[in-house]
Amino acid sequence: MRRLLIGLGLMGVLWAFQPGLAGDAPLQAQHEVGIRIPVILRLEVVELGLRMEALPQGRLTLGPGSYRLRIVSNTRWRLWLVPLLENPSSEVSSFLLEGRGREEVTLQVPAGATWEVWVRVGGG
Protein backbone atom coordinates (compact mmCIF):
# COMPACT_ATOMS: atom_id res chain seq x y z
CA MET A 1 0.00 0.00 0.00
CA ARG A 2 2.86 2.32 0.84
CA ARG A 3 4.44 1.75 -2.61
CA LEU A 4 1.13 2.56 -4.28
CA LEU A 5 0.85 5.84 -2.37
CA ILE A 6 4.44 6.78 -3.18
CA GLY A 7 3.85 5.93 -6.86
CA LEU A 8 0.68 8.02 -6.97
CA GLY A 9 2.50 10.89 -5.26
CA LEU A 10 5.31 10.80 -7.83
CA MET A 11 2.79 10.73 -10.67
CA GLY A 12 1.07 13.78 -9.18
CA VAL A 13 4.36 15.67 -8.96
CA LEU A 14 5.26 14.78 -12.55
CA TRP A 15 1.78 15.75 -13.74
CA ALA A 16 2.03 19.13 -12.02
CA PHE A 17 5.24 19.95 -13.92
CA GLN A 18 4.01 18.88 -17.37
CA PRO A 19 3.53 21.98 -19.56
CA GLY A 20 -0.08 22.46 -20.47
CA LEU A 21 -1.47 19.91 -18.06
CA ALA A 22 -1.39 22.15 -15.02
CA GLY A 23 -2.42 25.24 -16.97
CA ASP A 24 1.10 26.75 -17.14
CA ALA A 25 1.56 26.66 -20.92
CA PRO A 26 -0.45 25.77 -24.01
CA LEU A 27 -0.25 22.23 -25.31
CA GLN A 28 2.52 21.76 -27.83
CA ALA A 29 2.44 19.66 -30.99
CA GLN A 30 3.03 15.99 -30.36
CA HIS A 31 6.03 14.30 -31.90
CA GLU A 32 5.93 10.83 -33.38
CA VAL A 33 8.51 8.37 -32.19
CA GLY A 34 9.56 5.48 -34.41
CA ILE A 35 11.24 2.37 -33.12
CA ARG A 36 13.38 0.34 -35.48
CA ILE A 37 13.97 -3.25 -34.50
CA PRO A 38 17.23 -4.57 -35.95
CA VAL A 39 17.08 -7.70 -38.07
CA ILE A 40 18.32 -10.83 -36.34
CA LEU A 41 19.42 -13.70 -38.55
CA ARG A 42 21.68 -16.42 -37.19
CA LEU A 43 22.62 -19.87 -38.46
CA GLU A 44 23.61 -22.49 -35.88
CA VAL A 45 25.08 -25.94 -36.43
CA VAL A 46 23.93 -27.80 -33.32
CA GLU A 47 26.44 -30.69 -33.46
CA LEU A 48 29.43 -28.36 -33.81
CA GLY A 49 28.22 -25.78 -31.28
CA LEU A 50 28.72 -23.19 -34.03
CA ARG A 51 26.74 -19.94 -34.09
CA MET A 52 27.20 -17.69 -37.08
CA GLU A 53 25.62 -14.30 -37.66
CA ALA A 54 24.25 -14.48 -41.18
CA LEU A 55 24.45 -10.75 -41.80
CA PRO A 56 26.12 -9.46 -43.87
CA GLN A 57 27.85 -12.69 -44.93
CA GLY A 58 26.86 -16.15 -43.88
CA ARG A 59 28.37 -18.99 -45.90
CA LEU A 60 29.34 -22.29 -44.41
CA THR A 61 30.93 -25.37 -46.00
CA LEU A 62 30.09 -28.76 -44.47
CA GLY A 63 31.82 -32.09 -45.13
CA PRO A 64 30.43 -35.60 -44.67
CA GLY A 65 28.14 -36.15 -41.69
CA SER A 66 24.72 -35.41 -40.29
CA TYR A 67 24.01 -31.84 -39.22
CA ARG A 68 21.11 -30.07 -37.56
CA LEU A 69 20.95 -26.53 -38.90
CA ARG A 70 19.01 -24.08 -36.75
CA ILE A 71 17.90 -20.75 -38.15
CA VAL A 72 17.08 -18.09 -35.55
CA SER A 73 15.47 -14.97 -36.96
CA ASN A 74 12.92 -12.25 -36.33
CA THR A 75 12.12 -11.90 -40.03
CA ARG A 76 11.65 -13.92 -43.23
CA TRP A 77 14.68 -15.86 -44.45
CA ARG A 78 15.96 -18.05 -47.28
CA LEU A 79 18.28 -20.99 -46.71
CA TRP A 80 20.28 -22.37 -49.62
CA LEU A 81 21.79 -25.87 -49.55
CA VAL A 82 24.18 -26.28 -52.49
CA PRO A 83 26.25 -29.40 -53.24
CA LEU A 84 29.82 -28.63 -54.28
CA LEU A 85 30.56 -31.19 -56.97
CA GLU A 86 33.58 -31.80 -59.17
CA ASN A 87 31.35 -33.40 -61.83
CA PRO A 88 27.84 -31.91 -61.59
CA SER A 89 25.04 -34.32 -62.44
CA SER A 90 21.30 -33.97 -62.72
CA GLU A 91 20.83 -36.39 -59.79
CA VAL A 92 21.95 -33.87 -57.17
CA SER A 93 20.47 -30.40 -57.07
CA SER A 94 20.42 -27.35 -54.84
CA PHE A 95 17.66 -26.74 -52.33
CA LEU A 96 16.06 -23.45 -51.33
CA LEU A 97 14.03 -23.31 -48.13
CA GLU A 98 12.06 -20.26 -47.05
CA GLY A 99 10.60 -19.51 -43.67
CA ARG A 100 10.06 -17.05 -40.86
CA GLY A 101 11.27 -17.12 -37.30
CA ARG A 102 12.99 -20.18 -35.89
CA GLU A 103 13.39 -23.45 -37.79
CA GLU A 104 15.55 -26.59 -37.68
CA VAL A 105 16.66 -28.51 -40.76
CA THR A 106 18.60 -31.78 -40.84
CA LEU A 107 21.25 -32.10 -43.54
CA GLN A 108 22.86 -35.45 -44.32
CA VAL A 109 26.09 -34.99 -46.29
CA PRO A 110 27.22 -38.31 -47.83
CA ALA A 111 30.82 -39.55 -47.66
CA GLY A 112 33.09 -37.76 -50.12
CA ALA A 113 30.66 -34.87 -50.60
CA THR A 114 30.75 -31.23 -49.56
CA TRP A 115 27.78 -28.88 -49.25
CA GLU A 116 27.71 -25.13 -49.02
CA VAL A 117 25.04 -23.60 -46.81
CA TRP A 118 24.02 -19.97 -46.59
CA VAL A 119 21.10 -17.99 -45.28
CA ARG A 120 19.84 -14.53 -46.25
CA VAL A 121 17.01 -12.20 -45.33
CA GLY A 122 14.12 -12.46 -47.75
CA GLY A 123 11.30 -14.63 -48.90
CA GLY A 124 7.91 -14.15 -50.37
Range of the domain at 84: 41-121
Residue 17 within a domain:
no
Q: 67-104 pLDDT, tens per residue?
A: 999 999 999 999 999 998 776 665 668 889 999 999 99
The residues near 110 (Cβ < 8 Å, ≥ 6 apart) are 64
Residue 10 within a domain:
no
Q: What is the CATH number of the domain that holds 46?
A: 2.60.40
Q: Taking all residues of the chain, what is their mean pLDDT, rounded to a whole number?
A: 77
DSSP the chain: -HHHHHHHHHHHHHHHTSTTTSSSSPPPPP------PPP-EEEEEGGGTEEEE-SS--EEEE-SEEEEEEEEESSEEEEEEEEE-SS--TTS--EEEEEES-EEEEEEEPTT-EEEEEEEE---
State CA 22 to chain mean position distance.
45
Residue 14 within a domain:
no
pTM of whole model > 0.85?
no
Residue 19 within a domain:
no
Residue 112 within a domain:
yes
Residue 20 within a domain:
no
Give the chain's domain count.
Answer: 1
